[in-house]
Amino acid sequence: MAETLLLGVIGGMGPLATLDLLQKILASTPAQRDQDHLPVVTWNVPQIADRQKALAGTGESPLPQLLHAVEQLNRLAVSHIVMPCNTAHHWYAPLAAASRAPILHIAQVTVEQVARLSPRPARVGLIATQGTLAAGWYQQRLAELGIDSLLPDEQEMQQWFVPGCYAVKRGELQTAGRLLQQLANALLARGAERLILACTEVPVALAAIKSPAQLLSIDPTAVLAQTCVSLWQNSGHQFADGFMQQTTL
């Protein structure tokens, strides 16, 4: 029997990355009318503490705010939750433990997509925050497929990734795209056959400059969107409308 579905999104990390996910959900949905689209509730709160600073020990933990987001989405009886922020998955375990609804893991669904590629790449470059790279979610899953991960070095992170990421947050997409394009070029030059854009700011920046690296890139935001749409299709478009009874948060 098909299950009912109402997607919850923990957003604001950053706001543009959240909008990118919602746009990609719309673009991935075969719809003839409004009612064919996936029902989504978005907790788009940009004031969630900076994840990179928290993991670097220079800022407060976002976990209390993330737990609050999970609590509010669960009160709306969402059937699934997603987070369009790779680094926030550092706190995935306590969030999943606190949630009645399953939380999809962005790295898991992305590497499952990589496993379906034909031919399968032998080496994949990762563009991600230091926190995501240190956690190893992508590297471990890729290694299980026999795929080597190529990572940016410290200079590349400081020269291209970090300023590129924060340029997106300031809305300077052309600047961000040019910086991140250089990082993509460096990884491809070292032998990466494909790239995983494992920071949700990166696809937005590369798209802004129409980067040729997009042709060799796997976009976890797009994969997450496609996964959500597949859930919607498998539900038979059955809407979990219990939240309609809610009057206040």
From the number of C-beta atoms within 10 Å of its C-beta (0-12, 13-18, 19+), residue 58 rates as exposed
What's the rounded Cα separation, in Å, for the pair 228 and 230? 5
Return the axis-axis angle of helices 106-115 and 220-234, rounded to nearest 10°: 90
Contact by Cβ (8 Å): 161, 198? no
Question: Catalytic site residue 165?
Answer: no
The label of the residue with tokens 């997509």 reads 113
Rounded to an integer, what distance in angstroms lies between the CA atom of residue 198 and that of residue 130? 11
- Tokens 């996910």 map to which residue? 21
**Angular region, 237: left φ>0, alpha ψ -120 to 50, beta rest:** left
CA distance 148 to 71: 38
Q: How far apart are CA 42 and CA 85, in angstroms?
A: 14
Q: Is 32 helix (H, G, I), strand (E, B) or coil?
A: coil
Specify which residues 11 forms β-bridges with. Answer: 44
Q: Is 228 a catalytic residue?
A: no
- Identify the active-site residue in 70, 77, 85, 124: 85
Q: Which are the catalytic amino acids?
A: 85, 199
